[in-house]
Amino acid sequence: MILGILFNVGLIFYFKYYDFFIENVNAVFGAGFNLRHIVLPLGISFFTFQQISFIVDAYRGETEDYSFLEYALFVSYFPQLVAGPIVLHSELIPQFRDTKKHKINFDNLCRGIMMFSRGLAKKMLIADMFGKAVDYGFSQAALIPVGEGALTIPEIVIVMLSYTFQIYFDFSGYSDMATGLGSMFNFDIPMNFNSPYKAISIAEFWKRWHMTLTRFLTTYIYIPLGGNRKGKVRTYINTLIVFLVSGIWHGANWIFILWGILHGVGQCINKLTHGIYVNMCEKVRNAPLGYVIGGLVKAVSWIVTFVFINVAWLLFRADSVTQWLQILKRLGVTNYDVRSEVIEGFRIPRFRYVLEVLHLPSADNNVLMTGCVMAMAAALIICLCCRNNYERTYRTNVVSLVFTWVLLVACIVSMSSISTFLYFNF
């Protein structure tokens, strides 16, 4: 087991972290070791974690009746190979053995196509729209923080929220596509997202965001370290270790390490204050206007959590910790201009005529800003009010057929522009 884990950790270290390690050795000791610029194998972060989970479970005697072919298929199963979810052998291999799944099931095929098209639409039509503001914003963030062309306060807010929605719809969309592809082959792939922006605490956020990564880190790192069974201090240390590993896993850069530590600290603060929060809710429940007060407490908790997530995502997207700090410092500069280039991606064709009919300001910047506000509001409503695609009931009727193919055609047309899946980098 130890050799197997070391092999997989060594594999991901060499391909993903070798140059990062050499860069820091050169910086600290003034050495001149050459970087290798190693090409990252697609999906290595995911299949190495799956292999580690299999090795540990094999050590526990849970995989004795599996063949090598079943193991190889489990590790290389393509729908979730590139960006998750991180599945366990107990979730896939028994399905591989089920002979009923070896035949075409048209209900599953239709459900898979519908789910795949909706996931693709999340990525191509929503995430990429927000991505245009993010890309331009961070290209300007590379400028001198107080110089001409640097981001203004509203531009920082727009770029920050845009990335928050971009990474949500990008990763959530890919998870839906993986689930849809699995359904086409009659296989059930575990849910990886459960409306994470509904969370009212960092702990709840990680129960909803990238759920299979949270499960892996809990099962194979947090619990073996002792979990919460060895006192409060040890619990906080174990929590910080888990989130440090999460940050390192996401990328070979100090921004990811600091991002993981930030979330670990947030999780520890949540553990410290959870009892106070529960007691407060219990007290206000029986008080006059307790329902209203309880709602306000939850609303404040959601706002604090959402702001924390946004600031942390800003770090996640930054090119360096220094750039992130410079952007945050710009929030203290009193400049409220918004350039059209930042919000150009939110342009709605012929929307100016609608504003003119309504006798509203119809200058180009007003058109773009209105489109930006509408896009942000719509995205937030989808995140907070709509059911997950995994939970929907898919009906095979004419309406579903037309809607699905309209989405697919719109996505295919949108593929003429440059697009990348964010989690391909990790």
179 within some domain: yes
Residue 305 has a CB neighbour count (10 Å cut-off) of 21
The burial of 243, by beta-carbon neighbours within 10 Å (0-12 exposed, 13-18 middle, 19 or more buried), is given as: buried
Q: Is 250 a catalytic residue?
A: yes
Query: Are 282 and 409 found together in one domain?
Result: yes
Query: Are 124 and 202 found together in one domain?
Result: yes
* Range(s) of the domain holding residue 38: 1-103
Query: Are 52 and 185 found together in one domain?
Result: no
Query: Are 5 and 141 found together in one domain?
Result: no
Query: Are 43 and 155 found together in one domain?
Result: no
Show which of 57, 84, 103 is a domain's final residue. 103
Show which of 68, 103, 138 is a domain's final residue. 103
pTM flag (> 0.95) = no
Comparing CA positions, the residue from 211, 320, 309, 306 lying closest to residue 256 is 320
Query: Are 94 and 240 found together in one domain?
Result: no
230 within some domain: yes
27 within some domain: yes
Q: What pLDDT is recorded for position 288? A: 67
207 within some domain: yes
Query: Are 128 and 97 found together in one domain?
Result: no
Query: Are 294 and 414 found together in one domain?
Result: yes
Query: Are 92 and 123 found together in one domain?
Result: no
Q: What is the pLDDT of residues 338-386, one digit of tens each?
A: 888 899 889 887 777 777 777 777 777 888 888 999 999 999 999 999 8
Give the active site residue among 37, 250, 263, 274. 250
For 334: left if phi > 0, alpha if psi spans -120 to 50, otherwise beta; the answer is beta
Q: What pLDDT is recorded for position 403? A: 94
426 within some domain: no
What CA–CA distance (Å, rounded) separates 328 from 324? Answer: 6
Q: How many domains does the chain have?
A: 2
122 within some domain: yes
411 within some domain: yes
Phi first, then psi: give them for residue 380, nearest 5 degrees. Answer: -65, -40
What parts of the chain have a pLDDT lower than 50? none
Q: What pLDDT is recorded for position 321? A: 92
Q: What pLDDT is recorded for position 336? A: 83
What CA–CA distance (Å, rounded) separates 153 from 156? Answer: 5
Query: Are 67 and 140 found together in one domain?
Result: no
425 within some domain: no
Instruction: Determine the residue type at 413.
Output: V
Show which of 103, 130, 146 is a domain's final residue. 103
